[in-house]
Every structure is written in structure tokens, then in C-alpha cells.
Chain A
Amino acid sequence: MIIKQLSVFLENRAGRLTELTGILADNGINISAFCIADTADFGILRVITGKPELAEQVLKEQGFAVKITDVIGMIVPHKPGGLHKALQILTDNGISIEYMYAFASADDRATVVIRTDAMPKTIDVLQMHKLELVTAGDVYQM
């Protein structure tokens, strides 16, 4: 139920992100989803990919500070109130979200990547409420 997300420390410097995507491209690593958290001086790139370990290895070799982080991918209906319902469940159970990002696919579903302050509990709660979660195997198909 836990999926591996690749996190990379990036300085705010022109062209730095392009260098990184170039390395991923050269190594045949596909990006399924990503987001960037930015501050004035640096950013943190978070990437969902089918090959997180390979991506970690090649980026480390190129001198990036890289980390694999556990996240949860939950699937919600792509319609009004879909996200709200899922978040309400978390709030009702006292779970705080550290960060999240989402993307909708062509079908009627949207995938929400979340990291919370209580990961195992989050999984239990979501499964109890019959929310569909992304498995590591699904990541290739995303």
C-alpha cells in the first residue's frame, strides 16, 4: 500500500531541473507524477516513478541529495466532492497531512499522493472506508 516516492533537493538555479530530467530521460526513467515544493533558496522535487531505486542511484552518482520517501496513493472519484470525502475521513481520524499532490487521469478517477504524520494509521483508516489505494505495481501503469 506504501509507494516509494523519490525526493530530490534542488537549489533554485536556472537549468538545474532540466539537468535532472535529462538524467532521468537518459536512464529510461518515466515520471508518473511529480510536484515541487519551493522556498526562496531551494526546492524539493517529489517524483513518482516505476523505478525509484534506479532513479535514486543515478541521481546520487550525479551528486544530487536524494531520498526515497514512503507515500500513499489514494484513488478518488473525479467528480465534485470526491477529494473532500477522502479528506474528511482523515480529519475525522485526527490525521494531519504533511503534503499532497494530485492528478486526474482520462477515466473518471483521480490519484492523490499524500504523506501524513501517521502513515500506517492512514492506510488502515482509508481501507476501512473502502477507499482504493495505489499499489507499487500500479505505479508502472499510472
Chain B
Amino acid sequence: MIWNEYHECMERDQLAELQGERLRQMVERVYFNVPFYRNKLQEMGIEPGDIRTVDELQNLPFTTKQDLRDNYPFGLFAVPQQDVVRLHASSGTTGKSTVVGYTHNDIMMWSEVVARSLTMAGITKSDIVQVAYGYGLFTGGLGVHYGAEKVGASVIPISGGNTRKQLQLLEDFGSTAIACTPSYAAYLGEALIEEKIDRSRLKLRAGIFGAEPWTEEMRAQIEKSLGIKAYDIYGLSEVIGPGVSMECGCQNGMHVFEDHFIPEIINPETGAVLPYGELGELVFTTVTKEAMPLIRYRTRDLTRLHADRCDCGRTLVRMEKCVGRSDDMLIIRGVNVFPSQVESVLLEMSETRPHYLLVVSRENNLDTLEIQVEVEDQFFSDEVKELEGLRKRIGANLASTLGLHATVRLVEPGTIERSMGKAQRVIDNRKLK
């Protein structure tokens, strides 16, 4: 089923025309309303009206997270404060948090793209949707909430955490869909077993998971433990929140809602635009957002775009699962390491749970990487040589995938902290000096 067939299945030349027109209006709005953008455009000798087609997008300057921080809190808003009806902010784990604002129309547009997303997962007004994303400054909870209400589903705004309650409502209310981070979904799957809740007592059939990188192996594991189909949703608060792109039933990449967000892939070093199919940094231009429109916002997410038509009938481009965020990327002894690579290795071996932690340190001016892995119960052997063998196999597989030697440390089950929101996968002790 398709929520908005007109916009989701538009011929691509017709879509480009719509994007061009919306881009022109957006550039005009920021030029007259946001001093930051006016200065940038003037420096580059661009006047409103110079940008008329979507092909001219690449002449415009980039916006970075640092620009958002420099203009903290409301410096990039393009409307007066009385038109702003909602404020969200990022968690700000690295430096000052970034603030985003929404007008009434922005909230409507956000609900629309989330409604399209949920429809891709087969959710209709007959569904009961348990929203286990955090509600609050984080966009996850309220974003999915409004979209689910727009679809007409019954929404349970339980927010994140409180696992016992989550399980109780899944069972008692008969929730048919759940939205949360994939790491929390994996945790719920484990909790289901621990609490000895029989899967057949649940009506859950779909999960909408996003807000952090996850792997296909993790998807398979969640689908098995919760007995559902797991869908990937993508978004970031700077662009709108969840609902920037979403996987359809074909699960062949996430369709970007291009009538609102124009995606580009660039070479992260040179800034040059790369053709479809090439790996690079994902960049978004929001063409309909009123409160805080962004021109060519650099997401730091690394992925590829594909424009060939999907079997579902949608013409919207599909983005692959992100290889990682360049923020997440660790450079250890000059080698780029993504936590998602470690996860893939561990899950392929199936002898270990996806509970792991990367600890990076520096000893005698040399970076060291330790990977802590929980030993799963049924694979625990009481012979030292078996456990040492497991440790060596993990080490060897990691070395061949990462191109880097890592020390593997086996730890007891449950010792690595479980997250209720985004999983903490890395401790970088090098920064503490």
C-alpha cells in the first residue's frame, strides 16, 4: 500500500521540476530571512533567482553541524519565533546540542512523511502501534507518534525504557507494531525469553527501527526473537527527524521522500557530487521546511543512492543502509574502523551475542583496540582451550575484516551495559588525555 501515490510514484522528470520550483522558493526564503545564509550566498555571488533547477543545487554552499552549533540556539530559523510551534534538540554528546524548530506546517509535513513510512511497513488504522522511542527533546518518539496518528492507528506513547511494562503492554494491548531503536528491539527480544513470555501470546508483526546504525545480521536476529518483520527507518533531527527515508516491503534500500528532502552523495574530502551507486557522504537539502530550512546539510552518514525503479512502484530514490557515521568512525593506527564491522563479524560467528564494546586506548604512543564480547550461555565451554579457541577465532575474523589487530576479551553475559536508547558501542580513552 502507498500512502501518497501522487508524490511517491511521480515520474522522475516531473519530480525534478517540482524539486526545482521548491528549491527556488526555499533559497529565496533563506536569503531574505536567515543572515547566515544571506552572507554565505553573497560571498559566493549568488542572488535569489539564480537557482532555478535542481541541477543547480550543487552550486550552493554546504551546511555543517558546526554551523548549527555556531548559530545556537535559533540563529538559523527562517521564521519569527511566534510561528515556531515545536523545538527539539539533539543529545549533544559531542559538544553543544543542536536545536531544531518546526512551524505548524512543518509538523504537518513531518506527520505526512512518517505516515508514508508506516504505510510502507503495512501499518493501517487497524494497527496498534507501540512507540518505544524516547519522547522529549529527541525527535524519535513524537515524530513516529504524529505519523501513526495521521495513519489512524491506535498509538501507545509508552516512550523508551521500562522493559517490563513494554512486554506487558505488548501482551495485554496486543500491539501489532513497535517503533524503537534496533538495539532496544534486540534487548526486548532477550527480555521476552528471560520473562518466559510465549511468542504466540503476542500479536506483534512489524517493527520500525532506526536512529542508529544496524546490520542485516542484527535484523535477522530481531526478526527471529520477536517473530516480526523488521523495517529500517532513517532520519535525523536536523532534516526533520524519523521519516526522511524508509524501507518498503521490498526491503531493497530506504526510499527518500525527495519531494521534501533532496539527497546528494558527495566525496567527503573534496565535496564533489558523486553519481548514483557510488559510496560517499549523504547530504540533504530541505525544500519545504519553513522554520529551519537547510541547504546541503552534511549528515556525516556514508551510503549510496540508487535511482532505478523499485518493485513496489515508488519512483523515489533508495538509499542503502549507512555504512557508518563518520562521527562513529574510529581511526586506529591509521585504519578506519566502524563499530558496525565488528558487529557483523560477531553475528556471523553466531557463537556470541551482539553485545560488544570497543575500547580504544593509547599505550606508549600506540593505539590499542580491545573488543569486549559477552560469552553466550549455550556456547560456554568449561575447557580453557575451547574458550581460548573462541577468542582466537573472533580475533582472527576481526583482523581480516578490520585489517587491524584487536585484543579480544571475553566477558560475562550481561556485563556490557544495555542501552534503552542509542547503544554505546565505543569507549575511546584517547580523548581523555
> For chain B residues 374-419, which have a beta carbon within 8 Å of chain A?
375-377, 380-384, 387-388, 409-415
In the assembled complex, the CB of A111 is this many whole angstroms from the nearest CB of chain B, namely 19
Segment touching B, from A25-33, A35-43, A80-88, A118-126 = A35-43
Complex contact A60–B377 (CB within 8 A): yes
Residue A98 is within 8 A (CB to CB) of chain B in the complex: yes
Across-interface contacts of B414 in A (CB, < 8 A): 63
Q: What mask results when residues 98 to 123 of chain A are scored 1 for a CB within 8 Å of chain B, else 0? A: 11000000000000000100000000
Interface residues on chain A, number (Cβ under 8 Å): 21
Once A11-B412, A41-B409 are accepted as A-B contacts, the answer to whether A98 and B388 lie under 8 Å apart by CB is no
B130 vs chain A, min Cβ distance (A): 27
At the interface, is chain A mostly helix, strand, loop or mixed? strand
Known contacts A44-B382, A65-B377: does B388 contact A39 (CB below 8 Å)? yes
Q: Are B384 and A66 in contact (CB under 8 A)?
A: no
- Is A65 a contact partner of B375 (Cβ separation < 8 A)? yes
Asked if B384 and A65 make an inter-chain contact with CB atoms under 8 angstroms apart, the answer reads: no
CB of B383 within 8 A of CB of A98, answer: yes
**B410 and A42 within 8 A (CB):** yes
Q: Which one of B382, B387, B412, B413 lies within 8 Å of A46 (CB-CB)?
A: B382
Across the two chains, which residue of chain B brings its CB closest to A46? B382
How long is the Cα–Cα vector from A115 to B386 in the complex, in angstroms? Answer: 14
Contact A69 B382 (CB under 8 A): yes
CB of B384 within 8 A of CB of A44, answer yes
Q: Is the CB of A65 within 8 A of B383?
A: no
Q: Does A7 contact B (CB under 8 A)?
A: yes
CB–CB B382/A67 < 8 A = yes
Chain A residue at minimal CB-CB distance from B377: A65
User: Do the beta carbons of B412 and A7 come within 8 Å of each other?
Assistant: no
Q: How far is the CA of A11 from the CA of B372 in the complex (A)?
A: 11
Q: Contacts of B413 on A, CB cut-off 8 Å?
A: 63-65
Are B377 and A39 closer than 8 Å at their CB atoms? no
Asked, given contacts A64-B412, A65-B375, whether A39 binds B382 with beta carbons under 8 Å apart, the answer is no
Question: What residues on B are CB-neighbors of A34 within 8 Å?
Answer: none
**A10 on interface, CB distance cutoff 8 Å:** yes
Partner of B415, one of A7, A11, A39, A41: A11
The chain A residue sitting closest to B379, CB to CB, is: A65
Residues of B within 8 A of A41 (CB): 409-410
Contacts known (A60-B377, A65-B375, A66-B377); A9 close to B383, Cβ less than 8 A: no
CB distance B381 to A67 under 8 Å? yes
CA distance A67 to B381 in the complex (A): 8
Question: From residue B86, how far is it (CB to closest CB) to chain A in Å?
Answer: 41
- The minimal Cβ–Cβ distance linking B357 to chain A, given in whole angstroms, is 13
A32 and B384 CA atoms in complex are apart in Å by: 22
* Contact partner, A42, options B377, B383, B387, Cβ 8 Å: B387
Residues of B within 8 A of A9 (CB): 375, 380, 387, 410, 412
A3-57 interface (Cβ within 8 A of B) = 5, 7, 9-11, 37, 39, 41-42, 44, 46
Asked if A63 meets B382 with Cβ closer than 8 Å, knowing A39-B388, A42-B387, A44-B387, the reply is: no
Q: Chain B 57-80, CB within 8 Å of chain A: the 1/0 string?
A: 000000000000000000000000
B412:A99 contact, CB within 8 angstroms: no
Measured CB to CB, the nearest residue on chain B to A63 is B414
Chain A residues lying within 8 Å of B411, measured Cβ to Cβ, are 11, 42
Residue of A nearest to B391 (CB): A41
Flag if A37 contacts B384 (CB, 8 Å): yes
Question: Bound complex: CA of A119 vs CA of B29, how far in Å?
Answer: 81
A49 to chain B, nearest CB (A): 15
Measured between beta carbons, the chain A residues less than 8 angstroms from B384 are 37, 39, 44
CB-nearest residue of chain B relative to A41? B409
Give the contacts of B342-389 with A (CB-CB under 8 A).
375-377, 380-384, 387-388
Q: A42-B387, A44-B387 are in contact. Are A63 and B412 (CB under 8 A)?
A: yes
* Identity of the chain B residue whose Cβ is nearest the Cβ of A37 in the assembled complex: B384
Q: Considering residues B382, B383, B388, which has the most beta carbons from chain A within 10 angstroms of its beta carbon? A: B382
Closest to B414 in A: A63
Q: Which residues of B contact A (CB under 8 A)?
A: 375-377, 380-384, 387-388, 409-415
Closest 4 CB pairs of A and B: A7-B382, A63-B414, A65-B380, A69-B382
A–B complex contacts, Cβ < 8 Å, 25 sampled: A5-B382, A7-B380, A7-B382, A9-B375, A9-B380, A9-B410, A11-B412, A39-B387, A41-B409, A41-B410, A44-B383, A44-B387, A60-B377, A63-B414, A64-B412, A64-B413, A65-B376, A65-B377, A65-B380, A65-B412, A65-B413, A66-B380, A67-B377, A67-B382, A99-B383
